[in-house]
Amino acid sequence: MRRSWDGRSAAVLCDFEARITAENAANAAAHARELAVGHVLVVTSWWHRLRTRVLFRSLLPGIRVEVVSARTPWSPRLLLRELAVFPLVPLQVARARRRVVALSARRGGGAAA
């Protein structure tokens, strides 16, 4: 997604540790609190945008979250996968919130999601 983003920003943070979107959101939430940012811009594919928005906004209350779409290939299979996993979002949010707390504690902050 980094290569897909051609817009301007104050800083770009790429997450190479996360395996799933909920982990991306948790890592971003921990970094956003650590850096005291007021705005987070997330670049993702159009078919993944809804779940991404829900996850990031759930973990970043009080921070402006903007989700934009990059031009990426898609298939009906990818769209169906998104529809199939969307009901799991509440579980992903709960797990990601625990990850934010753990990451914040490791970095010396006490911020919770």
- As for how many domains the chain has, the answer is 1
pTM of the shown model? 0.81
Q: Quick check: is 3 in a domain?
A: no
Q: Quick check: is 94 in a domain?
A: yes
Backbone φ and ψ of 90, nearest 5°: -60, -40
**51 lies in which domain range?**
21-105
Q: Quick check: is 97 in a domain?
A: yes
pLDDT in tens, 63-108: 999 999 888 888 999 999 999 999 999 999 999 999 999 988 887 7
What is the biggest distance separating any 2 CA atoms in the chain, rounded to whole angstroms?
44
Q: Quick check: is 38 in a domain?
A: yes
Q: Quick check: is 7 in a domain?
A: no
Task: In whole angstroms, give the CA distance from residue 38 to residue 47.
Answer: 26
Residue 84 CB partners (closer than 8 Å, separation 6+): none
